[in-house]
Chain A
């Protein structure tokens, strides 16, 4: 149980275009989802926390107009990178949890590698 999927696993796009990444909890309802960014050989940087039906909470320094997050259902959250630039190239990972208030574990998706040309 507790499987999280991401789609696509890899995407290459041109500078200036927008890219949408989907994160789905396959066998549980996720009240909260998190979006992380990981640079090569570095740790995970939390970008935002997303609760179903409400606006995402962004970490300091993360542009909310550039990284649009939607958590429309208990099993789906999307991250849209708008007007992508080469510096947005990175590995994006989502995680999902059933009930963070009960210290429930975050379960991670397999990640999406974004390359902006």
Chain B
């Protein structure tokens, strides 16, 4: 069965410091992996995705994520956090071998960047 784990409910980081939001996944085949951000009372905004190729994926707003197949992880990173990055972040996976187009979402990690 497919699953996504975001082990931290909340991450606090000081403005200007690097941030990491963790995500691990479990699929039977090869994954497509996604990160989305959600601001209060809004839908999800796409940040980046891994399909194939280079393990380091760069996305919107200075975010990047590294696909690590051996650790089945896809952690989201940013070198220097901004207060405006404070939001709810979701990792999602789709099993390319499953025959379904569904995403499985993690439970979300609330990022709080402190001024």
B101 contacts the other chain (CB 8 A): yes
Contacts of A107 in B (CB 8 A): 46
Q: Is the CB of A105 within 8 A of B49?
A: yes
Given contacts A6-B43, A108-B36, contact A49 B107 (CB under 8 A): no
Q: How many residues of B contact A (CB 8 A)?
A: 21
Interface size class of A (residues with CB under 8 A): 20 to 34
Across the A-B interface, the 10 shortest Cβ-Cβ residue pairs: A100-B101, A108-B43, A108-B44, A110-B43, A111-B43, A43-B107, A43-B105, A103-B32, A44-B105, A109-B43
Q: List residues of B whose CB falls within 8 A of some A CB.
A: 32, 34, 36, 41-46, 49, 51, 90, 94, 96, 101-103, 105-108
Which chain B residue lies CB-closest to A100? B101
Q: Which of B51, B105, B106 has the most CB of A within 10 A?
A: B105
B76 vs chain A, min Cβ distance (A): 16
Q: Is the CB of B103 within 8 A of A106?
A: yes
Contacts of B49 in A (CB 8 A): 103, 105
| Residues 49-69 of chain A, each 1 if its beta carbon lies under 8 Å from chain B, else 0 | 100000000000000000000
